[in-house]
Chain A
Amino acid sequence: MKQAQKSMLKHLLLYGTGRGRLWAAIGALFVGNFLLLASVLIWWNFNELLYGKGEHGDAGSTYLVVGKQVTNTNVGLKGGTLFADADIAGLKQTPQVQEVGIITSNKFPVWAVLGGQVAMSTDLPLEGVPDKFLDQKPTDWDWKPGRRDVPIIMSTQFLGLYNYVFAPSQGLPQLSESSVKMIALRIKIGPEGRAETYSAHVVGFSDRINSVIAPQSFIDYGNERFAGQTAGAQPSQLILKVKDPSDRHFTDYLKEKGYSTNNENLRWSRIREIVEVVTTATGVLAVLLMGIGALVFILFIELTIARAHGSLLLLKEIGYGPGSLSGFMLGRFVPLIAGVVLASSGAITVLQYVAMRRAAESGLWLHTLPGLPVWVAMSASTAVLLLLVVRSVRAAIGK
């Protein structure tokens, strides 16, 4: 179709509806499209925050330390309270369990001596967990045989117990986390005669694991050297990364297997339920608004065609085919749809970037750009809209 011909057709077919209505239709479509994409974006961001596979995606996960319940029947059995490979495999297959870590306890004696003004000494239980299960990995956490200094992570509950229960009752000074980190410890490991002495210091605190943690390599070294136990021996405790510890199937599974846990934390589960309700409600609202936006746009198209009815009829009478007229009309409306989709995609990208920056200020990690579900939603909504518009135009012009 030549430019002059297009210009005349434009004059005949498109000038009847007015710019105000055009902008209103574009605005409605943009708002609907943007809200639809925004709701998918919100859902996707929460999903990434709560269940993401990456190192940042554990905000919604709960860490549980599980062991086998000590009962009269298994207490006397050798390995009765240890986890076999089949037990670990079973846990890994449980839908709620995202990851399973082995907690290795010391099989050798550990004697800790606290020097300085507060002099005390005690037997000390030490445990090792894979680094990825730590709340945060301190910078000097790595330990290799030969290194004389052993970093230790202590449960915050232990510090609380000392500060609020033990220190006042003994007339001892209370300690802050930073002052604890400055305390020099000496630990002696192994039986008398073969014992080795190390200096140790607390490098961090854990809310997650209620124990005293040493580097896995240190525990493995001691177990092998003093107890002859190689890495990979059956553990008595496991640490689980769990999506929802309150999930009925999961708690039933633990009960059925006779596993005990130290954590009945439902907090994240509740938050997750609220988030799901909010995102679902937002999604339903967004789909409705998108529907209304699409309806307004399609009605605008039908109004345009209805206003140009006389010209369309005459054009058909002088030999213009309905196919070429539909093509001309779609050539006018499809770029508008493309423009709206591009604008809403741009707005969503900006929104995600702003959300990422704001979340980073709160210590949460979000992607810089919207993810695949957002683009899939955009493609699907655009395809449906185009289909509706093409059908509408063809039906109106073909009459």
Chain B
Amino acid sequence: MTKRGADASRFCFVDMVRFLRCYSYICFSMQLSVSGLMPVPLRERVEGRTSGLWLRDLVLQGDEYVFVKAPSGTGKTTLIHMLYGIRGDYEGAMQWDGQVMRSMNAGALAALRAGKLSVIFQDMRLFPELTAWENLEIKRQLTDTVDEATVKGWMQRLGIGNKSASRAATLSYGEQQRVAIIRALLQPFEWLLMDEPFSHLDNENKAKAAQLVLEVVKQRNAGLLLADLDDNNYFPYTQTIDL
């Protein structure tokens, strides 16, 4: 094979790998697998009851819409934090696309959070000293996935367009929650984790927020996992798990 021929074949191979990678991102989002998972602080409560997730083996494909129904005290927030890599006090194993969560270092975890996994925390977790707009910008500028005009449009849609310059600490819980929802959508992701994402919103705003989330999840070809207390129809779930 001539040098040019070798270069050309290498080029084709590299291109093919890139194509397959992109294709896998588009068609096969990150897979979540858990095995024998049990949060250590909840051992007594978990062992005394039947759960659809704790201590079980489970695989969730990247295109699923999963609802985790969790009565109070069953570890809903703990689960979201474990899946997001904030907590490590559990037994069993958890993998995102075959990558063991517990073995990921801080850099790998940051890359996962910036590019593949997004979250809406129950307690919002905004920077109280920044304005609503700055809270969104500090996330948006990390990956530059969404342009400013789109963000402003989403703020208008959720009814917080006039709160851009207000410090997060001065916003109501409902307004903070809407900022937190938009912030979670300002990055590329393959899974969106939500912990009681609409708990502070009225029904009208819940519907608006859920509609926006669904649109973006569909755009990203991502999966979603929502943990909440009661049954709901915010999203067309493909699977419901009783925690």
Q: What residues make up the interface of A, taking CB atoms closer than 8 Å to B? A: 2, 4-5, 8-9, 11-12, 311, 314-323, 398
Contact = CB atoms under 8 A, between A and B. Distances in A.
B113 A12 contact: no
A318 B125 CA distance: 9
Contact of B129 (A9, A11, A317, A320): A11
Contact of A12 (B125, B130, B137): B130
A328 B53 CA distance: 40
A321 B138 contact: no
Contacts of B183: 318
Interface string B108-150: 0111011100010000010101100010011101110000000
Contact of A314 (B111, B127, B134, B142): B127
B221 interface: no
A144 B217 CA distance: 104
Contacts of B111: 321
A398 B106 contact: yes
Given A2-B141, A4-B141, A5-B141, A321 B130 contact: no
B107 interface: yes
8 contacts: A11-B129, A12-B129, A316-B106, A317-B86, A318-B139, A318-B142, A319-B143, A323-B107
Given A319-B114, A321-B114, A311 B127 contact: yes
B124 to A, nearest CB: 11
A110 B111 CA distance: 97
B187 interface: yes
Contact of A318 (B107, B113, B115): B113
Interface residues of B, number: 24
B107 A320 contact: no
A316 to B, nearest CB: 6
Contacts of B84: 317
B110 A322 contact: yes
A8 B110 contact: no
B130 A11 contact: yes
A321 B110 CA distance: 5
Given A316-B113, A318-B113, 4 more contacts: A317-B125, A320-B142, A321-B107, A322-B106
B110 A316 contact: yes
B86 A319 contact: no
A200 to B, nearest CB: 88
Contacts of B130: 8, 11-12
Residue from the set A317, A318, A320 with the largest chain B CB neighbour count within 10 Å: A318
Contacts of B187: 319
Contact of A321 (B106, B119, B127, B137): B106
A88 to B, nearest CB: 69
A377 B134 CA distance: 45
Nearest to B125: A314
A323 B107 CA distance: 7
A340 B192 CA distance: 47
A317 B127 CA distance: 12
Nearest to A399: B106
B139 A319 contact: yes
Nearest to A12: B127
Contacts of B113: 316-319
- In the A-B complex, the 10 residue pairs with the closest CB atoms: A319-B114, A321-B110, A319-B113, A5-B141, A322-B106, A8-B138, A318-B139, A8-B134, A2-B141, A321-B107
Interface string B70-91: 0000000000000010100000
Residue from the set A12, A311, A315, A317 with the largest chain B CB neighbour count within 10 Å: A317
Interface string B90-109: 00000000000000001101
Contacts of B129: 11-12
Contacts of A315: 138
